[in-house]
Amino acid sequence: MKKILLAIVFAYCTLAAQDSIRVNFKGASPSINDFAWALLSSTNNEEDCTDEAMNALKQAWIQHRKGKALSNGETLSIDSKNGFVIYENTQDNHQLRIEMCYWNETDKKHKLFAYNITSFVNGKYEPGQFDGITFYRYNNASKKMALTQDIGFERQYDTGGAWVSYTLPRSSKDITETTWLEKETKQKTLKWNGRQFK
Report DSSP letters for the chain, one per residue.
-HHHHHHHHHHHHHHHH-S-EE---SSSS--HHHHHHHHHHT--TTTS---HHHHHHHHHHHHHHTTPPPPTTEEEEEETTTTEEEEEEEETTEEEEEEEEEEE-TTSSEEEEEEEEEEEETTEE---TT-EEEEEEEETTTTEEEE---SSS---SB-SSSEEEEE--SSSSPEEEEEE-SS-EEEEEE-B-SSSB-
pLDDT at res. 124: 95
- Mean pLDDT, range 144-166, rounded to an integer: 94
pLDDT at res. 25: 96
Q: pLDDT digit string (tens) for 4-60?
A: 444 444 444 444 445 799 999 999 999 999 999 999 998 765 444 457 899 999 999
Per-domain residue ranges of the chain: 2-151
pLDDT at res. 23: 98
Q: pLDDT digit string (tens) for 63-90?
A: 999 999 999 999 999 999 999 999 999 9
